[in-house]
């Protein structure tokens, strides 16, 4: 009885001592790290996660929100940010762009969150963007996208179009001696902009030729006419930016038509490990994806990330490019907040722009924030295997983000 | 005076209903809610326009349109085009290859404003377009279908298909329409910033006043001879036809009218929400509008407003508190309404509202409750004795 008493007393003393040192170290009151009325107390800081949990985009966005929660959990386990634990308020964008705007407004106006991690499609970002600009919120956006945007209130943790496109095209021209290209994409802003940049690069820089360019509506499942044209034109490379569920039909129909990696080089910009779950590795075998991150990347940080992710979300989970980019969001925010010594959006943004925020231990490797709110990152080309994983065959140098590329518009 | 009392307000009962709704929308909600929630109510009330239009078309006319989103979208896009042109002044868009045109056109390599965008430079023309474009569109659809006596399920399917076609067209022609992103980042109306707090209040009240104007107009029409003819057509179309009326013309008229009402809602939506996208044109929003009307009671101009508010309130509350399962809750709500209140909220009110008022007047409810309890006891008693 007595020994227990002393033990608990000892615990108290240790706790008190810890608390004191904490208090000394973190002697920053909520008022001083938060001058703009955000939801920050002495113990807790609130952030928002805004992805689609329902609707057609849920399958793609689930990985992103899981990665964000993992990062936040890890940060909390390490003691949080400026001594404060992160509390998540999750909202469902429901694959519906106006809902993204409504929920953004709710998170910023009602909940006063210090940062939001969210959005996936360009359409949802475009819908939410005016809200973030009006309410001066801070959004970490994880998806590779078309560029042509640089908002004071957004940090883009995915690649913009030129980062993803140019290195991949250079690689295929050099390695596969490709001269003729067939471009195919889903019909919306990202594939259109991507193909515009790709065409300019193929024609002006690589001296190649675009022999066909096709766009299919989102959700389209009929690729017969495109496949017939491909057969007729016999391009060296099929360059694809088909998104979402359409990919399943696209690759299955290619295979059914006898166009496999044995005879045809195909480079896709929109297939990550997440999509392969639906497409099936056997339908993709030997084709190439161009991304900045693959789950199979062989480095310590990535192994730790994959392990932690599977521990939290189950052994069956896979990590695609966007999942990894989403994982970077909370860490980039933490780095910026700590450097700024404040949660104020303007201060965090200023530090993000000027202080050279970097993550040395990102799963994808070293990344650094550019003053234009995008990340310096490497582009990788990987070849798909039957088991749904890809083998990296090419890795570029760090590429500077350039959301408004001159000569490509 | 009698004209106003009987025809616009709908007699004593109608007047009470309108007074309650007006008190709610003009006084209770603006005082009770903060601006964020009020703005959301404002958004819901724009859907109520479409729901009211369905009372005319579906409730009284018996014509089920699964394409009210088409007209909501036409109105919304007309307004959005005007606002977008104002937001795309050469100064604002200086970084583009072609300054002075909307940003999405620039991304799609357009170098000049398409001809059908040019009239939307003018606010007056835009307001006319909000009325005229859906009128013409609905007239063409209505004329080609009702003159051939297409009706019932076929009409519903065709309107649905047109909604799909229009969505595909908007998404596909992104250089001209903004594609799947829609027309976003709308800022000012003649220099008046529609994103400020004061603007949101003003727009809320303009919206509410317009909604009441539409309800009065609809009530006036429904209490006229035309309204009775509509009901007659719904019940026995052939008899009306054999009585010498041209049924198709009436149908075309009510279809056009409902299209215009939805379009006004769409225009107000764009003003309050700040953007327009194809997701308000397609099948899902069109069917949602029918659900609003069904939940509220498709024969009641007032009921559908409550229906719209209730369904959207549920949507917001459920999705905020239980983001993982909210869709199931919404589904449960709809099933419950259809199963237990087939005539919607209005039906519920008609069935029990009178009892309730009588109850309060005559203290009947006290007696009824007593009787109910005694009944239960009487039933229970033999069970316990056994």
pLDDT tens-digit profile, chain B (386 residues): 567 677 766 677 778 888 999 999 999 999 999 888 899 899 999 999 999 999 999 999 999 999 999 999 999 999 999 999 999 988 888 777 788 899 888 877 788 899 999 999 999 999 999 999 999 999 999 999 999 988 889 999 999 999 999 998 998 888 899 888 889 889 899 889 988 889 999 999 999 999 999 999 999 999 899 999 999 998 888 899 999 999 999 999 999 999 999 999 999 999 998 889 898 898 889 999 999 999 998 889 999 999 999 999 988 888 877 777 887 888 888 888 778 887 888 888 777 776 766 666 666 667 777 777 788 777 765 544 44
Q: Looking at residue A49, what is its pLDDT?
A: 97
Q: Looking at residue B151, what is its pLDDT?
A: 83
What confidence tens digit (pLDDT) does each residue in A314-329 have?
999 999 999 999 999 9
Coil/strand/helix, residue B278? helix
pLDDT above 70 for A4: no
In a domain, B350, yes or no: no
Rounded distance, CA B211 to CA B219, Å?
12
What confidence tens digit (pLDDT) does each residue in A380-399 have?
999 999 999 999 999 999 99
Q: CB distance A189–B180 less than 8 Å?
A: yes
Q: Looking at residue A96, what is its pLDDT?
A: 81
Q: Looking at residue A3, what is its pLDDT?
A: 45
Q: Mutate which of A123, A143, A199, A244 to disrupt the B interface (most B C-beta within 10 Å)?
A: A123
Which of A147, A127, A133, A52 shows the shortest CA–CA distance to A406? A147
In a domain, B153, yes or no: yes
- The pTM score is 0.81
Q: CB distance A98–B277 less than 8 Å?
A: yes
Q: Looking at residue B93, what is its pLDDT?
A: 82
Q: Mutate which of B180, B185, B193, B285 to disrupt the A interface (most A C-beta within 10 Å)?
A: B180
What is residue A188's DSSP assignment?
Answer: S
Rounded distance, CA B179 to CA A217, Å?
11
In a domain, B58, yes or no: yes
pLDDT above 60 for A9: no
Domain count within chain B? 1
pLDDT above 50 for A236: yes
Buried b (16+ CB within 10 A) or exposed e, B183-212: bbbbbebeeeebeeeebbeebbeebbebbb
Torsion sign (Cα): A301, A303, A307, A310: positive
Nearest chain A Cα distance for residue B339, angstroms: 26
In a domain, B103, yes or no: yes
Residues of chain A in contact with residue B183, where contact means CB-CB under 8 angstroms, are none
Strands A380-384 and A288-291: what pairing?
antiparallel
Q: Mutate which of A108, A145, A189 to disrupt the B interface (most B C-beta within 10 Å)?
A: A189
In a domain, B274, yes or no: yes
Band of the pLDDT at A206, cuts 50, 70, 90?
very high
- In the beta sheet, which residues pair with residue B193? B188
pLDDT above 60 for A8: no
Residues of chain A in contact with residue B275, where contact means CB-CB under 8 angstroms, are 98, 101, 127, 130
Residues of chain B in contact with residue A106, where contact means CB-CB under 8 angstroms, are 36, 320
Residues of chain B in contact with residue A134, where contact means CB-CB under 8 angstroms, are 195
Q: Looking at residue A164, what is its pLDDT?
A: 92
- In the beta sheet, which residues pair with residue A288? A267, A383
Residue that the structure tokens 């099936």 belong to: A280
Q: Looking at residue A10, what is its pLDDT?
A: 44
pLDDT above 90 for A31: no
Rounded distance, CA A375 to CA A236, Å?
32
Q: What is the dihedral of CA A397, A400, A404, A405, to 10 degrees?
A: -40
Helices in A78-160 by DSSP H: which ranges? 97-105, 122-135
Q: CB distance A101–B275 less than 8 Å?
A: yes
Q: Looking at residue B381, what is its pLDDT?
A: 59
Q: CB distance B273–A98 less than 8 Å?
A: yes
Which of B168, B273, B279 minimises the CB distance to A217? B168
Q: What is the dihedral of CA B52, B58, B61, B62, to 10 degrees?
A: -170
At CB < 8 Å, which residues of chain A contact B? 53-54, 90-92, 94, 96-99, 101-102, 105-106, 109-110, 122-123, 126-127, 129-130, 134, 146, 148, 187-189, 192-193, 196, 217-218, 404, 409
Q: Looking at residue B377, what is its pLDDT?
A: 76
Q: CB distance B184–A409 less than 8 Å?
A: no
Q: CB distance B107–A122 less than 8 Å?
A: no
Mean pLDDT of A204-227: 90
Which of B40, B171, B326 minimises the CB distance to A217? B171
Q: Mutate which of B184, B317, B324, B327 to disrupt the A interface (most A C-beta within 10 Å)?
A: B184
Q: CB distance B323–A92 less than 8 Å?
A: yes
Q: Hey, what are A235's tokens?
A: 């391009």
Residues of chain B in contact with residue A99, where contact means CB-CB under 8 angstroms, are 319
Q: CB distance B179–A187 less than 8 Å?
A: yes
- Percentage of chain A exceeding pLDDT 90: 73
**DSSP result, A344-390:** -HHHHHHHHHHS--EETT-TTS-EEE-TTS-EEB--EEEEE-TTS-E
Contacts of residue A326, defined as CB under 8 A and 6 or more positions apart, other chains included, come to: A63, A64, A65, A67, A68, A117, A140, A142, A157
Torsion sign (Cα): B31, B37, B42, B44: negative
Strands A116-118 and A139-141: what pairing?
parallel
Q: Looking at residue B364, what is its pLDDT?
A: 63
* Average pLDDT, rounded, for chain A: 89
Residue that the structure tokens 């297409």 belong to: B150
Weakest mean pLDDT among A64-73, A301-310, A330-339, B99-108: B99-108
Specify the DSSP element, H or E, that contains A212. strand A209-216
Q: CB distance A187–B172 less than 8 Å?
A: yes
Buried b (16+ CB within 10 A) or exposed e, B19-57: eebeebbeeebbeeeeeebbbbbbbbbbbbbbbbbbbbb
Nearest chain A Cα distance for residue B180, angstroms: 7
Nearest chain B Cα distance for residue A227, angstroms: 20
Which of B1, B40, B10 shows the shortest CA–CA distance to B215? B10
CB pairs under 8 A between A and B: 90
Which of A128, A66, A92, A97 shows the shortest CA–CA distance to B327? A92
Q: Looking at residue A1, what is its pLDDT?
A: 39
- In the beta sheet, which residues pair with residue A381? A290, A394
Specify the DSSP element, H or E, that contains B334. helix B326-340
Nearest chain B Cα distance for residue A302, angstroms: 29
The backbone torsions φ and ψ at residue A408, rounded to the nearest 5 degrees and listed phi first, read -115, 10
Residues of chain A in contact with residue B277, where contact means CB-CB under 8 angstroms, are 97-98, 123, 127
Q: CB distance A404–B326 less than 8 Å?
A: no
Domain membership of residue B37 as a residue range: 15-282
In a domain, B306, yes or no: no
Q: Looking at residue A20, what is its pLDDT?
A: 41
What confidence tens digit (pLDDT) does each residue in B165-210 have?
999 899 888 889 988 888 988 989 988 998 888 999 999 999 999 9
Using an 8 Å Cβ cutoff, are A34 and A344 in contact?
A: yes
Rounded distance, CA B104 to CA A47, Å?
31
- In the beta sheet, which residues pair with residue A254? none
Mean pLDDT of A107-136: 93
Q: Looking at residue B95, what is its pLDDT?
A: 76
Residues of chain B in contact with residue A101, where contact means CB-CB under 8 angstroms, are 273-275
**Strands of B96-151, DSSP E:** none
Q: Enumerate domains of chain A plus CATH numbers.
A: 33-159+298-377 (3.40.50.2300), 162-291+381-395 (3.40.50.2300)
Buried b (16+ CB within 10 A) or exposed e, A51-73: bbbbbbbbbbbbbbbbbbbbbbe
Nearest chain B Cα distance for residue A187, angstroms: 6
Q: CB distance A196–B95 less than 8 Å?
A: no
Q: Looking at residue B316, what is its pLDDT?
A: 83
Q: Hey, what are B224's tokens?
A: 């006229």
Residues of chain A in contact with residue B107, where contact means CB-CB under 8 angstroms, are 146, 148, 189, 192-193
Q: Mutate which of A49, A50, A54, A69 to disrupt the B interface (most B C-beta within 10 Å)?
A: A54
Q: Looking at residue B318, what is its pLDDT?
A: 83
Rounded distance, CA A318 to CA A209, Å?
36
Q: Mutate which of A90, A98, A132, A147 to disrupt the B interface (most B C-beta within 10 Å)?
A: A98
At CB < 8 Å, which residues of chain B contact A? 36, 39-40, 43, 95, 97, 103-104, 107-109, 168, 171-172, 174, 179-182, 184-187, 195, 273-275, 277, 279-280, 316, 319-320, 323-324, 326-327
């Amino acid at each position: 009885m007595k020994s227990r008493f002393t033990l608990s007393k000892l615990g108290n003393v240790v706790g008190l001592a810890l608390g004191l040192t904490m208090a000394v170290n973190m002697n920053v009151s909520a008022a001083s790290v938060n001058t703009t009325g955000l939801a920050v107390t002495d113990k807790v800081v609130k952030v928002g996660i805004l992805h689609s949990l329902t609707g057609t985009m849920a399958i793609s966005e689930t990985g992103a929100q899981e990665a964000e929660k993992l990062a936040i959990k890890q940060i909390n386990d390490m003691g949080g940010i400026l001594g404060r634990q992160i509390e998540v308020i999750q909202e469902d964008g429901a694959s519906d762009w106006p809902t993204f705007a409504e929920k953004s407004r709710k998170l910023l106006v009602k909940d006063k969150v210090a940062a939001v991690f969210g959005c996936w499609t360009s359409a949802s970002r475009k819908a939410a963007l005016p809200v973030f600009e009006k309410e001066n919120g801070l959004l970490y956006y994880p998806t590779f996208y078309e560029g042509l945007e640089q908002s004071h209130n957004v940090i883009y943790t995915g690649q913009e179009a030129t980062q993803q496109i140019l290195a991949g095209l250079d690689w295929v021209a050099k390695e596969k001696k490709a001269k003729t290209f067939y471009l195919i994409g889903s019909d919306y802003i990202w594939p259109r902009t991507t193909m515009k940049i790709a065409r300019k690069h193929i024609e002006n820089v690589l001296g190649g030729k675009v022999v066909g360019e096709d766009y299919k509506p989102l959700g389209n499942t009929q690729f017969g006419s495109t496949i017939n044209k491909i057969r007729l034109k016999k391009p060296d490379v099929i360059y694809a930016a088909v998104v979402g569920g359409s990919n399943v039909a696209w690759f299955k129909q290619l295979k059914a038509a006898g166009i496999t990696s044995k005879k045809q080089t195909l480079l896709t910009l929109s297939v990550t490990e997440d999509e392969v779950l639906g497409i099936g590795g056997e339908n993709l075998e030997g084709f190439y994806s161009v991304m900045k991150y693959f789950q199979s990347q062989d480095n310590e940080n990535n192994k730790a990330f994959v392990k932690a992710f599977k521990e939290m979300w189950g052994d069956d989970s896979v990590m695609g490019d966007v999942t990894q980019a989403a994982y970077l969001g909370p860490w980039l925010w933490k780095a910026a907040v700590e450097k700024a010594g404040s949660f104020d959006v303007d201060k965090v943004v200023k530090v993000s722009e000027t202080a050279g925020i970097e993550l040395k231990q990102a799963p994808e490797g070293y990344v650094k924030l550019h003053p234009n709110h995008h990340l310096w990152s490497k582009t990788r080309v990987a070849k798909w295997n039957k088991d749904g994983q890809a083998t990296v065959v090419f890795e570029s140098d760090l590429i500077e983000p350039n959301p408004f590329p001159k000569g490509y518009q | 005076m009698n004209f106003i009392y009987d025809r616009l307000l709908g007699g004593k009962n109608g007047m009470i209903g309108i007074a309650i709704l007006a008190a709610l929308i003009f006084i209770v909600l603006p005082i009770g809610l903060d601006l964020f929630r009020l703005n959301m109510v404002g958004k819901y009330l724009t859907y109520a326009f479409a729901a009211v239009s369905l009372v005319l078309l579906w409730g009284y006319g018996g014509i089920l349109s699964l394409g009210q989103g088409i007209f909501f979208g036409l109105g919304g896009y007309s307004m959005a085009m005007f606002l977008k042109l104002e937001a795309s002044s050469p100064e604002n868009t200086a970084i583009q290859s072609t300054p002075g045109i909307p940003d999405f056109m620039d991304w799609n390599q357009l170098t000049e404003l398409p001809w059908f965008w040019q009239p939307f430079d003018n606010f007056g023309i835009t307001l006319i377009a909000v009325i005229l474009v859906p009128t013409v569109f609905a007239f063409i659809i209505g004329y080609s279908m009702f003159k051939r006596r297409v009706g019932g399920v076929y009409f519903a399917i065709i309107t649905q298909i047109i909604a799909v076609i229009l969505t595909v067209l908007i998404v596909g022609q992104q250089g001209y329409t903004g594609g799947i992103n829609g027309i976003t980042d709308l800022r000012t109306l003649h220099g008046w910033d529609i994103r400020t707090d004061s603007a949101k209040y003003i727009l809320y009240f303009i919206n509410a006043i317009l909604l009441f104007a539409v309800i009065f107009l609809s009530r006036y029409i429904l209490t006229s001879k035309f309204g009775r003819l509509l009901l007659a057509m719904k019940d026995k179309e052939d008899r009306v036809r054999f009585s010498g009326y041209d049924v198709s013309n009436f149908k075309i008229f009510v279809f056009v009218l409902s299209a215009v009402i939805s379009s006004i809602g769409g225009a107000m939506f764009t003003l309050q929400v700040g953007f327009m996208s194809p997701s308000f044109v397609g099948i899902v929003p069109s069917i949602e509008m029918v659900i609003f009307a069904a939940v509220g009671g498709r024969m009641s101009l007032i009921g559908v407003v409550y229906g719209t508010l209730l369904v959207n309130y549920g949507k917001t509350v459920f999705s905020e508190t239980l983001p993982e399962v909210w869709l199931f809750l919404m589904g449960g709500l709809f099933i419950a309404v259809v199963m237990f209140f087939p005539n919607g909220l209005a039906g519920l009110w008609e069935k029990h509202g009178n009892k309730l008022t009588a109850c309060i007047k005559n203290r009947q409810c006290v007696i009824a409750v007593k009787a109910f309890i005694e009944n239960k006891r009487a039933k229970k008693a033999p069970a316990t004795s056994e």
